[in-house]
Structure 1
Amino acid sequence: MTLGAQIAWDDTVLPFQLDHADIRGRLARVDGVLDKVLSQHNYPAPIEALVAEAVLLTAMIGQTIKLRWRLSLQVRGSGAVRLIATDYVAPTGDGAPAQIRAYASYDAEALDLKAAAFDQLGKGYFAVIIDQGEDMAPYQGITPIAGGSLSSCAETYFAQSEQLPTRFATAFGRSTLAGQDERWRAGGVMLQHMPKASPHAKDAASGEEGLLAAGDLVEGDDAENWSRANILLDTVEETELVGPTVQPTDLLVRLFSEESPRIFDAQQLEFGCTCSEDKVRQSLSIYSAKDIGHMTLDDGTVSADCQFCGAHYVLDAKSVGFEAEQDGKE
């Protein structure tokens, strides 16, 4: 495989369908996007790992939904890891890339660098928020943190909130290619039974803490198809998931040749942030002049930093808030 072919599949999501099993899926490779996300911050290793997994999940989940604007994934915990947040901004047109950004909040003093990253979330919830833009009410689905990974949380979310049998296989970490610097890579496969195949859940839930699991949502031939696809996915190796020397199309044929895999147009990904000075002004518009005064620096300005991309905004204090003077002038 040539280097050019390798790079062509970096930062892409490839949709596919298993016609014999009535299952749809996504195969994602995230390289430059993930490296760009993590380079905005100086996270310790456990936080980097959680952000990497969250970015990969967001890429696959976001591409399954016909968005007008944005899908957000949020994981909030009570432990040393307080928040993992990601956004998937839909493409603006045919052939345009989708944009992804992410950040984490954590208690550096409480974080154990030797402990499993996921275990340091503690109790909390996993949420998917879909914002379709102006004049559209956002949708939010929430499930408790469950399982031993963010992928398990996502599977529980789809079973519990959407009643869609869903499975993720993911791999991520630092890698070094010949002649290149070390950088983050991630890859994964998402399987999801078509919605019409699982309209009702069984009476008993088999998941952690009484939550629904994928197997609770299928029966008969659907259950056999789902089980067979999962067994095949279990044979995937981490190096196959992250690439870069295994093409996604070759991997799908290797895993699911008997299920008649059918691929669709790949979606390109890029790092992108939607922050702007106008949005900072809008966020400050709820404050009075007195409130703005408490935020004002000695030089008469108010500053704000974007948690996602690190952009730094400096505004004239007189020009922000609902009592603002136009352009800071009388």
Structure 2
Amino acid sequence: MTTNTTPIWDDSVLPFQLDRADVRGRVARLDGALNTILGQHNYPPAIEALVAEAVLLTALIGQTIKLRWKLSLQVRGKGPARLVATDYYGPTADGQPARIRAYASYDKDMLDPTGPAFPQIGEGYFAMLLDQGAGTTPYSGITPIAGGSLASCAEAYFAQSEQLPTRFALSFGQSQLQGQRAGWRAGGVMLQQMPKASPLAGNVGGSGQDGLLTAQDLLHGEDGEHWQRANILLDTVEELELIGPGVSPDRLLYRLFHEETPRVFPTQPVNFGCSCSADKVRNSLSIYSAKDIRHMTTPQGTVTADCQFCGAHYVLDAATVGFEAKKEAPGA
């Protein structure tokens, strides 16, 4: 008999609420999904680290979106690490897993492959985009790159764009369980003050880097005390507790926040998943004329395209591509 030794809480996000502190949060654990994402590419260590952090942030943030919605995170910089992009697709139905994918682009000649990752982004911006589906206008928000990590960028984003005090504690890297191959594991905790009317609505100045708002700018009085207490407790977390697998998310919550009356909600499973398809490639090429398509056509009479997220390779009949294309025969 084969025994599955993978902990049941891996590749999942556990939502919770601290009733005493009026704070909500999530605990995320990723292993298989993250290994699949990074396994699609041969990134140098610095880029792998940025992608791992971005994927973990996206899983924590994305858990709140509704069924069939899409959350995208983008980090663009002027340094060697040019772009990190992630997509989180809400479940198609209750009880179904969410899907996540990611990729990065970089200047291999400028990159220090084993050097510190975050400084190699340089100046740039951190952006989130929420797509609620057909017939709606996607919502987007952008803040400058700030702090010393993607987590600090996300904290600045929520303070500035959403005026929601937010805190992340993350851990990620290569690890190895006894008797198993080494692989990527990531884990983290997200805390967020329950939404309220902000006393700084319309105020563009804050105490953070480059005048950005911070959690301290948004909270005062009893709310500030609750927030500070929850953050002090989160400061005691250890990296091995964050990534597991020896400590389950519910045990971690009890260890950290048992005095704050934690309340947990149903766990959201997260899988790797890519939305690419031949039809989407064909649609993306529909803006080109027949003349443009001829410049893209191979000697074999095909147009090829590769998905940057999953590496899927598409070969299309050139005659079926572009706005002057003929309709492809049914079943082709």
**Normalized against structure 1, the TM-score is what?**
0.96
Q: Which amino acid aligns with 1:304?
A: A
Secondary structure, counterpart of 2:154 in structure 1: helix
1:168–1:72 distance in 2 versus 1, CA, 3 Å: same
Between the aligned residues of both structures, percent identity stands at: 69
Q: What amino acid sits opposite 1:244 in the alignment? A: P
| Change in 2 beyond 3 A, CA 1:233/1:6 | farther
Which residues of structure 2 form unaligned runs of 5+? none
Offset from partner CA, 1:285-309 (integer Å, 9 cap, x none):
0000000011011111000000000
Shift of 1:203: 7.8
Distance 1:21 1:103 in 2: 37
SS at structure 2 position matched to 1:195? coil
What SS is found at the alignment partner of 2:7?
helix
CA distance in 2, matches of 1:203, 1:50: 29
Q: Name the SS for the 2:101 alignment partner.
A: strand
Instruction: Mark the runs of 5 or more structure 1 residues left unpaired by the alignment.
Output: none
Pick closer, same or farther for the CA change 1:314–1:5 going to 2, 3 Å: closer
Distance 1:20 1:281 in 2: 53
SS of the equivalent of 2:62 reads helix
Which residue does 1:234 correspond to in 2?
Answer: 235
Q: Which amino acid aligns with 2:183?
A: R
1:97 maps to: 97
Question: Which residue number in structure 1 is paired with residue 86 of structure 2?
Answer: 86
Q: SS where residue 59 of structure 2 aligns?
A: helix
What residue number does 2:184 align with?
A: 184
1:173 aligns with 2:173: yes
Q: Is the 8 A contact 2:65 2:90 kept in 1?
A: no
**How big is each residue's C-alpha offset from its partner over 1:274-325, in whole Å with a ceiling of 9 and x where there is no partner?**
0000000100000000000110111110000000000000001111100012
**What is the aligned partner in structure 2 of residue 263 from structure 1?**
264
Q: Give the Cα separation in 2 of the matches to 1:292 and 1:143.
A: 37
Task: Provide TM-score, normalisation by structure 2.
Answer: 0.96
Q: Distance in 1 between matches of 2:67 and 2:196?
A: 21
Distance 1:167 1:5, change over 3 A: farther
Distance verdict in 2 for CA 1:45–1:114, change over 3 Å = closer
How many residues are aligned here?
Answer: 327
Partner of 2:223: 222
In structure 2, C-alpha distance between the alignment counterparts of 1:79 and 1:203, rounded to whole Å: 27
In the alignment, the residues of structure 2 paired with residue 320 and residue 203 of structure 1 have an alpha-carbon distance, to the nearest angstrom, of 47
Aligned mates of 1:26, 1:294 — CA distance in 2: 49
Please give the root-mean-square deviation of Cα atoms over the aligned residues, in Å.
Answer: 1.6
- Structure with greater helix share of residues: 1
Give, as a single letter, the amino acid of the residue that structure 2 aligns with 1:90. G
Q: What corresponds to 1:64 in structure 2?
A: 64
Q: Aligned-pair distance for 1:116?
A: 1.0
Q: Give the equivalent residue in structure 2 for 1:301.
A: 302
Match runs of 1:105-144 below 5 Å? 105-144=105-144
Distance in 2 (alpha carbons) for counterparts of 1:6 and 1:229: 31
Change (3 A) 1:301 1:66: same
